[in-house]
A and B are shown apart, each in its own frame.
Chain A
Amino acid sequence: MSLALGSCKMRAMHKFCAAAIAAVLISTTGCAGTPKANAQSVGELQKEGVDVIVSWLKAYVDMKADKCLHLTSKVELVACLGPVAANPDEVDAAIELARTAQVAYYVALTSTGPDGDVSVELLREAENQLVVAAEALVVLVKKAKGL
């Protein structure tokens, strides 16, 4: 299991690094340095970061489901699934929090103020929401790892 997850993590990290390189490339071409361009780079990078975390969660709950869902005793099933997989509502809630925060960031990024540019305040608020949501996902991962 740990080898499979490690492999998943390596592939996901490789993708993250590739995406980070792409984001740097993107930010150095076109209209580099504008508030919107910088915010877009941030948005793309956070998405890649969230993808890595959620891919890990996906591999983890899949592993638990494969290992445990044959059990019919609730006590045994809950014990086998562990503190994260046994609480699918908590997992879904963390995911929806992240999705809401990302959508809010997307809306802030694509909305323009009276001066025709993005609202820095809206973006800042949306970015704060992203941080909170990402932290909630990391808490899940730590709980799953027993940390």
Chain B
Amino acid sequence: MSQIIGILIGSALEGIEDLTRAAVAASLRRVADEVERGDIVSDEAFDNVKTTTARIREALKNAQ
């Protein structure tokens, strides 16, 4: 039964815009009592900043 529901929900999600799809997916995970690290930890945002701080660090090291 849960497999059928999963297929039906999956099909329904195809036609929904990103925000609503994310909200529905998160809601489904909530019902399944799941939480993903990506929902809580800003890894992508952090790593993006660190690519630039690494460049700055290198430039400061090489400056005279």
Binding site for B on A (CB under 8 A): 18, 21-22, 25-26, 29-31, 36-37, 40, 43-44, 46-47, 50-51, 54-55, 57-58, 61-62, 64-65, 68-69, 71-74, 77-78, 81, 85-86, 88-89, 91-92, 95-96, 98-99, 102-103, 105-106, 109-110
Contacts and interface: CB of A to CB of B under 8 A. Distances in A.
Of B40, B59, B63, the most chain A CB neighbours within 10 A belong to B40
A29 B45 contact: no
A22 B19 contact: yes
The SS class assigned to the B binding surface is helix
Contact of B63 (A57, A77, A92, A95): A77
Nearest to B31: A30
A109 B26 contact: no
9 contacts: A37-B30, A43-B39, A44-B39, A51-B45, A62-B52, A65-B55, A68-B59, A74-B60, A106-B40
B50 A92 contact: yes
Contacts, number: 118
Given A29-B27, A58-B48, A88-B53, A36 B33 contact: yes
Nearest to A57: B49
A57 B52 CA distance: 10
A38 to B, nearest CB: 11
A43 B56 contact: no
Interface string B10-30: 000000000100110011101
B35 A40 contact: yes
B52 A58 contact: yes
